[in-house]
């Protein structure tokens, strides 16, 4: 384990500093099977059900013969991924919570960035670590831990990403409180969640698919695109249609989470302002501008057709006070 990684890890039981993988406060000792530190305490039944669910088909998985250049090209199709790469400094400490198989962590690697991909599913982490070794990507580390008791040092990260994970936790509000503590004062937190309105078309598709026992799933462009990739198709089908835990949110609810944890709201993606330009540079971490709640409410209705194709996910960006 590198010195840089050791500085951002902590004992999940008491929060104490680690010397190697031994807690200097409570003397607990942890292991790192296959090079992935195991800093996960026993979970509750609902969290364990989600963890077992992902053990069958780790999400999102890697296409056959994927290369680093191919991974980067695929990631750059996402406005959020491009904006994150442009906005995050070259020497930042980055935590991706619920990293799954680690594609975003690998995409953001570069310069002098330290990236920690954290997840509670070891099979997913093993795929990410293997891909990092195969692609020759440095500066990315994977850690097995859980947001109920994270084995990560409070305030250790410049940027904390929770991309598509909080809505699969038993208590998303509690989970956000946990990740907000991990970002340093003045640092940035980015969360993506299912939007309560933009998720409606998907829920209709899921209802029809259930009638056909998921043998027929109408109008899902992602499943159609993955027809020649059975493993990744299965991972998407399970994640989107069979998940045991799912929550949906409106922006107002997320803004209340931010206020409760001294995180200043900066912007959303898509924008909640009419006529906002596509993000091209580091402005992702800057305030969007006007803050008119009526415009925000109407703009969310416009997210229904734009976000429906890939499940209705929206991003919210904030900066921790201080």
Domains recognised in the chain with CATH numbers = 36-200+241-320 (3.40.50.150)
Write down the residue that tokens 């949906």 correspond to: 248
% pLDDT > 70, the chain: 99
193-230, pLDDT tens digit by residue?
999 999 999 999 999 999 988 888 888 888 888 888 88
E strand map for the chain:
18-19, 22-23, 38-39, 93-97, 114-119, 140-145, 157-163, 183-194, 263-269, 313-320
Question: What is the DSSP-derived secondary structure letter of residue 244?
Answer: S
Res 47 pLDDT > 90 = no
pLDDT of residue 23: 96
Contact 278, 155 (CB under 8 A): no
**Burial (CB count <10 Å: 0-12, 13-18, 19+), residue 34:** exposed
73-116, pLDDT tens digit by residue?
999 999 999 999 999 999 999 999 999 999 999 999 988 999 99
pLDDT of residue 219: 86
Cα 160 from Cα 189, distance rounded (Å): 5
Task: Grade residue 239 by pLDDT with cuts at 50, 70 and 90.
Answer: confident
Contacts of 257 (CB under 8 A, 6+ apart): 173, 176, 177, 263
- Of the listed ranges 38-42, 60-64, 249-253, 265-269, the least confidently predicted one is 60-64
Mean per-residue pLDDT of the chain = 92
Six token digits for residue 111? 């310069």
Task: Grade residue 234 by pLDDT with cuts at 50, 70 and 90.
Answer: confident
pLDDT of residue 17: 94
Res 314 pLDDT > 90 = yes
Res 59 pLDDT > 80 = no
Task: Grade residue 278 by pLDDT with cuts at 50, 70 and 90.
Answer: confident
125-158, pLDDT tens digit by residue?
999 999 999 999 999 999 999 998 999 999 999 9
Cα 33 from Cα 232, distance rounded (Å): 26
Q: Name 268's bridge partners.
A: 316
CA angle 120, 284, 140 (to 5 degrees): 35
Cis upstream peptide for 69 (omega within 30°): no
Tally the residues of the chain. 322
Six token digits for residue 156? 């250790």
């Amino acid at each position: 384990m590198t010195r840089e990684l050791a500085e951002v890890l902590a004992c999940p039981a008491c929060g104490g500093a680690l010397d190697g993988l031994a807690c200097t406060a409570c003397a607990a000792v942890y292991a790192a099977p296959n090079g992935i530190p195991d800093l996960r305490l026993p979970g509750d039944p609902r969290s364990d059900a989600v963890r077992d669910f992902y053990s069958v088909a780790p999400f999102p998985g890697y296409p056959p013969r994927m290369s680093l250049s191919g991974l980067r090209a695929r990631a750059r199709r996402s406005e959020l991924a491009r904006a994150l790469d442009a906005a995050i400094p070259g020497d930042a400490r980055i935590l991706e919570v619920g990293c799954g198989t680690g594609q975003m962590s690998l995409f953001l690697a570069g310069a002098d960035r330290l990236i920690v991909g954290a997840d509670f599913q070891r099979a997913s982490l093993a795929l990410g670590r293997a891909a990092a070794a195969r692609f020759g990507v440095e500066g990315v580390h994977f850690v097995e831990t859980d947001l109920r008791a994270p084995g990560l040092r409070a305030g250790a990260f410049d940027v904390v990403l929770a991309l598509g994970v909080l809505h699969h936790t038993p208590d998303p509000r509690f989970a956000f409180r946990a990740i907000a503590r991990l970002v340093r004062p003045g640092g940035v937190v980015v969360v993506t969640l299912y939007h309560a309105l933009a998720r409606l078309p998907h829920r209709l598709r899921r209802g029809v698919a259930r009638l056909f026992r998921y043998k027929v799933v109408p109008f899902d462009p992602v499943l159609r695109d993955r027809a020649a990739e059975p493993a990744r198709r299965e991972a998407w089908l399970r994640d989107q249609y069979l998940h045991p835990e799912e929550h949906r949110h409106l922006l107002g609810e997320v803004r209340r989470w931010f206020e409760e944890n001294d995180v200043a709201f900066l912007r959303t993606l898509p924008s909640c302002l009419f006529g906002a330009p596509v993000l091209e540079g580091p402005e992702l971490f800057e305030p969007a501008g006007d803050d008119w709640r009526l415009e925000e409410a109407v703009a969310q209705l416009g997210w229904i057709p734009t976000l429906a194709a890939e499940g209705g996910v929206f991003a919210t960006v904030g900066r921790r006070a201080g």
